[in-house]
Amino acid sequence: MNQQIINKLCIIGVGLIGGSLARALKKAGAVGDIVGAGRDVAHLEKAKALGVIDHFETDISLAVKDCDMVVVAVPLGAMQSVFEQIAPVITNDMIITDVGSAKGSVVKAAQAAFKDIPATLVPGHPIAGTEKSGVEASFPELYENRRIIITPLETSSTTAISKVKSMWQACGADVIETTIEHHDEVLAATSHLPHMLAFSLVDTLAKMDAKNEIFDFAAGGFRDFTRIASSDPDMWRDICLANGDALVEMIKKFSDDLQKLSNAIEKNDSTYLKETFERAKKARDEFCDSKNINDSLE
């Protein structure tokens, strides 16, 4: 059991990500009191009944009162409005972080809301999640052995950075630091593009006349590849809007390569096809080895 590192925590947005953080910190004994905030009383009552939070408030400016840590875990499109509500009441010893899947847009939202970004703000992003949403889907082990990327700003104080790191480490996570730009480029490639491919593939098939037959014939490979197309559409709309430049760049790169593959098939270019598949297989095998993944067992 960890020592208590947060006295009073406010989680704004007690869904999958915020709820799992609350559960993990409670399980680790790393937090005293947890207040949840959100728009919908029924969701917050559910979170309290599940033991995820101790109290709740729908007025965000009241929810953060006396908190030494505030975690903003709302959809990207709601970040600015939440920052605007806490701006008038933040104090010098209130650490603020977020969990948004894109970071440039969160910093823009903070600039617009706070004018002078507080030294206690340290943006963050847990590289963990599922295709489910809401507090019912939250669980305390979500962050165990997972990476949390924090993107401290020039203005972020060392005290704030170290407290945000300790919070995630108490959940069993491995915390790494990078810049906002690097985060957004890398996530466009490794997370945002794959989600676009899954959504787009399922949508293309669903629009075909023979869709029922196609889905009937689909097997494990289709299921593996398309699991993430069950993710929350609102969240993914927000991520596309928030990280549009980096994502469009990746979609262009991928479309060029897909076109080359299509040309090679048309021209019966077996060398191109085999070389592409060999390169991809080698890269994926190395990735799985480095992460100890054996997905034939899953």
Residue 232 vs 249, nearer CB to ligand NAP: 232
Min dist. Cβ of residue 62 to ligand NAP (A) = 13
Nearer to ligand NAP, 139 or 272 (CB): 139
Residues 6+ apart with CB under 8 A from 138: 14, 15, 16, 17, 18, 19, 20, 22, 23, 52
Q: Of these, 15, 118, 123, 152, which contacts ligand NAP (CB under 6 A)?
A: 15
Instruction: Please say whether the beta carbons of 47 and 18 come within 8 A.
Output: no
The CA distance from 231 to 214, in Å, is: 21
Contact string 36-75 vs ligand NAP (x = CB under 6 A): --xxx--x-----------------------------xxx
Task: Tell whether residue 82 is a contact of ligand NAP (CB under 6 A).
Answer: yes
Structure tokens at 62: 């009241």
- Binding ligand NAP (rule: CB under 6 A), the pick from 123, 129, 140, 152 is 129
| Binding to ligand NAP in span 194-253, by CB under 6 A | 232, 235
| Of 64, 100, 104, 193, the one binding ligand NAP by CB under 6 A | 100
Burial of 27: CB neighbours in 10 Å, binned 0-12, 13-18, 19+:
middle
Cβ 269 to ligand NAP shortest distance, Å: 38
Tell the smallest beta-carbon distance from residue 274 to ligand NAP (Å): 35
Q: Which two tokens stand for residue 280?
A: 């991809």
Q: Which stretch binds ligand NAP (CB under 6 A): 23-31, 123-131, 167-175, 215-223?
A: 123-131
Contact status, residue 33 vs residue 59, Cβ threshold 8 Å: no
CA atoms 93, 98, 103, 104: torsion sign: negative
**Of the listed pieces 26-34, 78-86, 259-267, 272-280, which binds ligand NAP according to CB under 6 A?**
78-86
Q: Under the criterion CB under 6 A, does residue 124 sit at the interface with ligand NAP?
A: no
Residue of 123, 126, 140, 152 interacting with ligand NAP (CB under 6 A): 126
Q: Should residue 123 be labelled a site residue for ligand NAP when binding is judged by CB under 6 A?
A: no
C-alpha–C-alpha distance, residues 94 and 82, integer Å: 15
From the list 141, 233, 249, the residue with the least C-alpha distance to 185 is 249
Q: How many CA atoms lie within 13 A of 205 on its CB side?
A: 16
CB of 138 to ligand NAP, least distance (A): 8
In contact, 82 and 14? CB cutoff 8 Å: no
Q: Under a CB-based contact definition with an 8 Å cutoff, are residues 163 and 95 in contact? A: yes
Chain residues that interact with ligand NAP, rule: CB under 6 A: 12-18, 38-40, 43, 73-76, 78, 81-82, 99-101, 125-126, 129, 133-134, 232, 235
